[in-house]
Every structure is written in structure tokens, then in C-alpha cells.
Amino acid sequence: ERKEFQNKLKSEGKEAATADEMSVFYKNFLDKNWKTHINYNYSWYKQNLRILFLELKVRLSKMKFK
């Protein structure tokens, strides 16, 4: 999508996008892809919780055998 946006700007005669134009593009991009971002974050949260749970099991096991 970014390439399409850049090509559109070039067709309008602009070499590079301004910060304001890029912020509008990025906002639209995030709005269109919010579900994907939510799923991605959820999968990472799930992995992190799993790792924390395993670490807790190891620590409890070590305390038990001291």
C-alpha cells in the first residue's frame, strides 16, 4: 500500500510525502488493518503468558527440591 501511495504522489508531481501526508496515510492504514494488529498482539500476549507460566513452574520446582 505504501508503494501505491508513493506512486500516486509521484503521478501528482511530488517527489516525497510530507510528514502530514504520511501521518494521514499511516492513520488510514492502521484503521484498515486494526483487526490484523489486534490478532498479532493477542498472539504475542498469549506466548508471553505461556513463557511466564513455564518460568513459574520451574521456580516452584526449584524451591521444592532445595
Of 5, 62, 51, 46, nearest in space to 28 by CA:
5
Who's near 30: CB < 8 A, 6+ residues apart? 37
56: helix, strand or coil: helix
Query: What pLDDT was estimated at residue 26?
Result: 92
Query: What pLDDT was estimated at residue 6?
Result: 84
Using the Cα atoms of residue 30, residue 32, residue 35 and residue 37 in order, give the sign of their dihedral.
Answer: negative
What tens digit of pLDDT does each residue of 1-57 get?
A: 888 888 888 888 888 888 898 899 899 999 999 999 999 999 999 999 999 999 999
C-alpha cell of 40?
498479532
